[in-house]
Structure 1
Amino acid sequence: MLLCVTASHKTASFDLLERLSRHPETVAPTLVEAGAEGAVVLSTCNRFEAYVETDDLDTGAVLEVVAQATGIPSADLDGSYRVVEDRRVAEHLFAVASGLESVVSGEGEIAGQVRRALTGARKDGTTSPALERLFQRASQAQRKVKNVTALQRAGRSLVRLSLELADSRIADWAAERVLLVGTGSYAAVTLATLRERGAVDISVFSPSGRAELFAKKHGIRAVSASEYAATAQRSSLLITCTSVSEPVLGPEQLQRPERTASAGCPAGSAGGSQLVIDLGMPRNVDPAVAQLEGVALLDLETIRLHAPIEELQATDAARAVVREAAEDFHAAGSRAAVTPAVVALRTHIFELLEAEIDRARRRGDEDGMVEQAMRHLAGVLLHTPTTRAHELAADGRGDEFVTALETLYGLIPESGAGEAAVSDIAASDVA
């Protein structure tokens, strides 16, 4: 059974999502240790989701493990999550990967985060065949949504939306002194978006010490730890986007003798004020900076409130693609579930066929007419039960076919029988 425990901006507070995102790497291994066949955790700035394959753990047990691994009491989680089960899991993940469940519908960053969640599970040894197939199909669904709908053109990334919100405070982007805090994938997207808007005076600081490498690659100035506070005070726009678990920007970095506009104050922003944009999850900026005179803080919670209503036509088209992809996923899974039984039936019938053909040859079937007729009959006889097996599996009743096979023929399917044999059946049906 597949299930997903999901807490997102739609169900949980920003503070709870921040707490859940502090140590997501502990959740999947703890779930597997507790008895799950596999687990993949997707943790982003606006959601925390645990995808689990299990026959032994019920929903309550999974939630207890999540609470244990994150250190968050179960009572704090009550009312802040949804549980998605069985056939609905695929459609949910495909919608998430396509950006349909994001703060900004159609945002592109989530697709890479879904892929990295699977990569992390592989590295930790917590994935399973069913979860592998689920997440691989999610990436395929996302690409199809991108290629055949206008969703991503209608939607905007969090980075782009945050800078659009900053437009009302910035008269001339070229005059801004920008300090970028962080050197990951979000930082690269942020830098590119800043340059699109005309920003040229951009520096970068990295809490992990990677500023020099990032700066050299992108042609901007690196800021050392000793320069950080002074540079922060001189900057008119500060954007943080790191994955560290504690704030990297607070009053201690921004505090200076006078917070009023003067000749020495930052240029660019109206009135010499500073704008701080916090794209981090957990938050990178101490909320206390908003209390400093002349400092405005724009964080994810505020950005979320300004997410636009997307074009319904693009969203509806994307939803249709996602539903179709989920149906295809289940159809393929259903076919695979009865494959061993179908292969067992095929093997049994063709063993009988070969014995009868051998007997016919010994009796003088030199022109092969009897052999040809028997092979055609075998294909015809196999067609109906094969079709029926797939129909039953699609309805969740594949075990009925397996039971009938054992009752009628005494056959016990071997697990792991391949799909190739089933394809051979389809060909022989029309022979």
Structure 2
Amino acid sequence: MNICMAGIDHNHATIDVRELFAFTQKNKLTFLAQLNKMDGIQGCIILSTCNRMELWASVKDDFKGSLYEILCQVKEIAPKQYRGYFCELRGKEAVNHLFHLACGLKSQIMGEDQIVTQVGEALSFARENQFSDSILEVLFRKAVTAGKKVKTEVIFPKGNESSINQAIHKLKSQRLVIRNKNCMVIGNGQMGKIAAQAFVEAGANVFVTIRQYRHGCVEIPKDCMGISYSDREEYLPICDYIVSATTSPHQTVTKCMLEKYQPGRSQILIDLAVPRDIDMQVVQIEGITLMNIDDFKTSEQDAAMKIAVDKAEKILKVQIEEFYQWLGGHKVMPRIQYIKEEAVNDLNLRIEKSLKSCSLEDAEKLNLIQTISKAADKVVNKMIFSLRDDLREEEFISCIDSWEQLYEES
């Protein structure tokens, strides 16, 4: 069994390239269903955010395929064209990458805490649709646990900021006024809510588009005004800032929409989606500025950030070791089960011989053997796992080898 990952992120590719490999919920479901049926694939997960797309799989040891090439085949893209933008990892490199990722150490904004939620949601999606296996299940769960532990114990300078916070900092650095200005946020998902709240805190009057879902439950961010998604065009002329953060496969703002009126002033459009929501041709209209998520990069680490990263690394080291302890036990579980069964059977045979001369009824003998069997199973189980916890891995495997040999020879 091995763990593989093929991914692309903001460090290696611009948004123009990343959006070619992005997934909506619908096509993610279709692709994972295809991948999960392939020979050698035991389980699979897709992590698709605005800054990255990663394809994860647990595979058999003899799996020789390339997740990147499988991805290109489904996306109908020539592999040679974009191979340089991708990173393919296996085994320990893949595991280390996921733990660091879940802690925000590989994020565009160092230490941001949205990513741990996104990793958890990727696992939940795969689990609900029966694509994950036990290896990926535990790997992602432990990575999320590590991310939460780092979030609790480590304070990153500006670590809780999101891309929209960075956007607002950039706007203010350009001496653009936000307070009392009108802002429309298109999209009421997690990213949309964060964007709306950020502009509210900056003093803007915020309108948030909402859709009417079947369950009828729509949550509008605090101090924001909800408007129908279908009415968004009516609000374009009065808004100074327009933010779009949806997972829609369709454009939310087009050049044609903006050309219907003459704004007479500058407007800032911020596209936080991947694939992008806003028609890139809007920049051809005078007074329109379009920004995307790649425009908000953080500077190099300062001394405070390096201290925070070092502290996070120490936490990660322990968490990763715990995963490998579990994985080591998982791999030998069939062998442990075999040893337990043989040990209990051995004990039962010896007891049965002794019971032949006893005056107990057959039913009483059977009940006694069953009781002893259950007790023996617990004793052997405790012995084996106590040794696993106390011995080095190679010493424990040596014990397993000896026990197996003992019962194979008997």
Deviations 1:202-232 (A, max 9, x none): 11235x556x965756453333466432311
**Secondary structure, aligned partner of 1:91:** helix
Shift of 1:125: 1.6
Identity %: 22
TM-score, length-scaled by structure 2: 0.80
Aligned counterparts, 1:187-266, within 5 A = 187-199=192-204, 201-206=205-210, 214=218, 218=222, 220-224=224-228, 227-255=231-259, 258=262, 260=264
Show the counterpart of 1:374: none
Partners of 1:237 and 1:274 in 2: CA distance: 6
Tell me: CA distance 1:50–1:28, structure 2 relative to 1, closer, same or farther (3 Å): same
Residue 341 in structure 1 maps to residue 345 in structure 2:
no
Return the match for 2:301 from 303, 309, 313: 309
Partners of 1:213 and 1:170 in 2: CA distance: 39
Contact 1:107–1:152 (CA under 8 A) maintained in structure 2: no
Show the counterpart of 1:407: 405
Residue 80 in structure 1 maps to residue 73 in structure 2:
no
Tell me: CA distance 1:252–1:95, structure 2 relative to 1, closer, same or farther (3 Å): same
Show the counterpart of 2:108: 103
Contact 2:339–2:404 (CA under 8 A) maintained in structure 1: no
Deviations 1:18-55 (A, max 9, x none): 11114433332221111211101100111111110111
**Secondary structure, aligned partner of 1:327:** helix
Deviations 1:78-130 (A, max 9, x none): 11111221123222111111111110011111111111111111222211111
Show the counterpart of 2:167: 162
Show the counterpart of 1:264: none
Partners of 1:140 and 1:98 in 2: CA distance: 9
Unaligned runs of 5+ residues in structure 1 are: 261-271, 364-378, 413-431
Residue 10 in structure 1 maps to residue 11 in structure 2:
yes
Q: Which moved more, 1:3-12 or 1:60-69?
A: 60-69
Q: Which amino acid aligns with 1:335?
A: G
Partners of 1:257 and 1:198 in 2: CA distance: 26
Contact 1:8–1:17 (CA under 8 A) maintained in structure 2: yes
Shift of 1:350: 6.2
Partners of 2:107 and 2:258 in 1: CA distance: 32
Partners of 1:406 and 1:244 in 2: CA distance: 56
Shift of 1:168: 3.0
Tell me: CA distance 1:27–1:11, structure 2 relative to 1, closer, same or farther (3 Å): farther
**Secondary structure, aligned partner of 1:79:** helix
Partners of 2:353 and 2:157 in 1: CA distance: 65
Partners of 1:14 and 1:191 in 2: CA distance: 23
Alpha-carbon RMSD: 3.5
Partners of 1:317 and 1:84 in 2: CA distance: 25
Deviations 1:254-310 (A, max 9, x none): 2256454xxxxxxxxxxx421111111111112222232112122112113x45636
Deviations 1:107-166 (A, max 9, x none): 111111111111111222211111111111111111111111113754521121111112
Contact 2:116–2:144 (CA under 8 A) maintained in structure 1: yes
Partners of 2:273 and 2:257 in 1: CA distance: 17
**Secondary structure, aligned partner of 1:175:** coil
Contact 2:15–2:274 (CA under 8 A) maintained in structure 1: no
Return the match for 1:321 from 295, 315, 319: 315
Aligned counterparts, 1:20-419, within 5 A = 20-22=21-23, 23-35=27-39, 36-55=41-60, 58=63, 60-151=65-156, 153-154=158-159, 156-169=161-174, 172-199=177-204, 201-206=205-210, 214=218, 218=222, 220-224=224-228, 227-255=231-259, 258=262, 260=264, 272-304=265-297, 306=298, 309=301, 311-345=305-339, 348-349=342-343, 387=387, 394=393, 398=397, 404-410=402-408
Partners of 1:114 and 1:90 in 2: CA distance: 13
Q: Which amino acid aligns with 1:247?
A: Q
Unaligned runs of 5+ residues in structure 2 are: 358-378
**Secondary structure, aligned partner of 1:40:** strand
